[in-house]
Amino acid sequence: MLGLIFSKASTRTRVSFMVAMARLGGQTIDLLPIVTQVGRGEPVADTARVLSRYCDALAIRTFAQADLEAYAHWATIPVINALTDLEHPCQALADFLTLQEAFGSSPADLAGLTLAYVGDGNNVAHSLMLCGALLGVNVRIGCPEGFAPDPNVLERARALAEQGAQISVVHDPLEAVRGAQALYTDVWASMGQEEEQAERERAFAGWCLDEALLSEADPRAIVLHCLPAHRGEEISAGVIEGSASRVFDQAENRLHAQQALLATLLGGL
Residues annotated as catalytic are: 61, 88, 91, 186, 226, 254
Predicted TM-score (pTM) of this structure = 0.95
Q: What is the pLDDT of residues 178-207, one digit of tens each?
A: 999 999 999 998 767 777 888 899 999 999
Please give the pLDDT value at position 202: 92
Please give the pLDDT value at position 231: 98
Residue 139, φ and ψ in degrees, nearest 5? -120, 120
Please give the pLDDT value at position 43: 94
Q: What is the pLDDT of residues 223-238, one digit of tens each?
A: 999 999 999 999 999 9
Asked if domains 2-85 and 90-251 share a fold, the reply is: yes
Q: What is the pLDDT of residues 89-135, one digit of tens each?
A: 999 999 999 999 999 999 999 999 999 999 999 999 999 999 999 99
3-state DSSP percent of the chain in helix, strand and coil, to 5: 45, 15, 40
CATH topology for 90-251? Rossmann fold (3.40.50)
The conformation of residue 107, written as its DSSP 8-state character, comes to G
Percent share of the chain, pLDDT over 90 = 88
The conformation of residue 124, written as its DSSP 8-state character, comes to H
Report, as an integer, the average pLDDT of 243-248: 98
Under 8 Å between Cβ of 117 and 139: yes
> Residue 253 pLDDT > 90, yes or no?
yes
**How do the domains of the chain map onto residue ranges?**
2-85, 90-251
Contacts of 73 (CB under 8 A, 6+ apart): 48
Beta bridge partners of 116: 140, 183
CATH numeric code, 2-85? 3.40.50.1370
Burial class of residue 217 (count of CB atoms within 10 Å of its CB; 0-12, 13-18, 19+): buried
Percent share of the chain, pLDDT over 70 = 99
